[in-house]
Chains A and B, each alone.
With several copies, the nearest count.
Chain A
Amino acid sequence: MTTCLECDAPLTFPPDLIDGEIIPCADCGAELEVLSLSPLQVGLAPAVQEDWGE
């Protein structure tokens, strides 16, 4: 059971989870990043960064 890194509440994932997806914690609102699908690992998602390229 993968839990939130902030408040330890259980996390819920969509069936078609994608690599790198951002999953909000329903309890504390923290944003978790899917670091790998198998094994399923999450980490705290980095702050928003403006993206500009050609």
Chain B
Amino acid sequence: MTNELMVVKLGGAAGIGLETLCDDVAQLRRDKRRLVLVHGGSDETNRLAEQLGHPSRFVTSISGHTSRVTDRRTLEIFMMATAAINRRLVEQLQARGVNAVGLSGLDGRVIQARRKEAIRVIENGRQRIIRDDWTGTPERINAGLLTTLLDLDLVPVLAPLGISESGEALNLDGDRAAAVIAAGLKAETLILLTNVPGLLRNFPDQTSLIHHIPQGEIESFAQFAEGRMRKKVLGAAEALRAGVRRVVIGDARQPAPVSAAMDGQGTVIG
């Protein structure tokens, strides 16, 4: 059981209790669980961008996704904000005896991504193309480096940055980064933690939790997903197609959120 790998995306939302989360991870490590953690950073990036006088601009893509216009200055702010989260996580884990190693997908080309040359967006009702965007779609990972770190009994903690073919740092969606890592490492389970119980049939009614989605029916259930949840559901679909056995969208506000998701609490997909 123990060589089964679990990839956990820690919801970037402010609601996540860092301390309780790290207690849970420390317990899983004592149970010899192999783990890779991936985190986000959108809230922290918003705050830091505001403080540095370069507030982020959000646009809606044709397919309804809201996402940040990541010009070069925003990318550098994103790199700093995600590093602050990464370091805090590693520090808290190390203090609990978990030998965590913080990386981003840029380092050792761990997450190779395709930079989107042009993005179609709708802004104030007008359709336009944005070209100077440093956002990427994760495509492949450097499984060798991550496996080496896991075999050294380390817990990789990854910031959602990728690298393009030509070596450019790129802003990645944390959920999709976690999905491509889970797929690349043939992980047993991908857990996407967020600050709701799971996929809700009628958001925001927390009691309308969808407990199980068979792999074949993800598209039809995707209609219930809005905004960031939509990205999670599509990330789950990608991971399952690539061989991950199970994806669980779990509630980060639980006392032991990762263990709870492992036990199937939340929306189990696959």
Q: How far is the CB of A37 from chain B (nearest CB, A)?
A: 12
A20–B212 Cα distance when bound, in Å, is: 43
> Which single residue of chain A is at the shortest CB-CB distance from B70?
A53
Measured CB to CB, the closest approach of chain B to A50, in angstroms, equals 6
**Which residue on chain A has the smallest CB distance to residue B136?**
A53
Which listed residue, A34, A49, A54, touches B119 by the CB 8 Å rule? A49
A9 contacts chain B at the CB level, 8 A cutoff = no
Count, chain A residues at interface, CB 8 A: 16
The answer to whether B137 and A54 have CB atoms under 8 Å apart is no
B45: CB under 8 A from chain A?
yes
Interface of A is mostly: loop
- Determine if B128 and A50 form an interchain contact, defined as CB atoms under 8 angstroms apart: no
Per the 8 Å Cβ criterion, residues 18-53 of A in contact with B are 18-22, 33-34, 45-46, 48-53
Chain B residues near A53 (CB, 8 Å)? 67-68, 70, 133, 135-136, 171-173
Give the chain B neighbours of A46 by CB distance below 8 A: 117-118, 120, 129
Task: Give every chain A residue within 8 A of B129 (Cβ-Cβ).
Answer: 20, 22, 33, 45-46
A14 to B133, CA, bound (A): 25
Known: A46-B117, A46-B118. A52 touches B127 (CB 8 A): no
What's the nearest-Cβ distance from chain B to residue A47, in Å? 9
Main secondary structure of the interface of B (DSSP, over half): mixed
Asked whether B41 lies within 8 Å of A50 as measured between CB atoms, the reply is: no
Question: Quick one: given A18-B126, A21-B128, are A54 and B120 in contact (CB under 8 Å)?
Answer: no
In the complex the two chains form, what is the Cα distance from A15 to B208 in whole Å?
48
- Total interface residues in chain B, CB < 8 Å: 37
Are B128 and A51 in contact, with the CB atoms below 8 A?
no
Interface 1/0 per residue, B89-133 and A, CB below 8 Å: 000000000000000000000000000111111000011111101
Is B176 on the interface with A (CB-CB < 8 A)? yes
In the complex, the chain B residue whose C-beta lies closest to that of A46 is B118
Task: Name the residue of chain A whose CB is nearest to the CB of B134.
Answer: A53
Find A54's partner among B68, B116, B117, B118 (CB 8 Å cutoff): B68
Nearest chain-B residue to A19 (Cβ)? B128
CA distance A4 to B223 in the complex (A): 37
Chain A residue at smallest Cβ distance from B39 = A54
Chain B nearest CB from A51 CB (Å) reads: 4
Q: Which of A21, A22, A51, A53 is packed against the most chain B CB atoms within 10 Å?
A: A53
- 27 A-B pairs (CB sep. < 8 Å): A18-B128, A20-B128, A20-B130, A21-B128, A22-B120, A22-B128, A34-B128, A45-B120, A45-B129, A46-B120, A46-B129, A48-B63, A48-B120, A51-B65, A51-B116, A51-B119, A52-B172, A53-B67, A53-B68, A53-B135, A53-B172, A54-B40, A54-B41, A54-B42, A54-B82, A54-B160, A54-B172
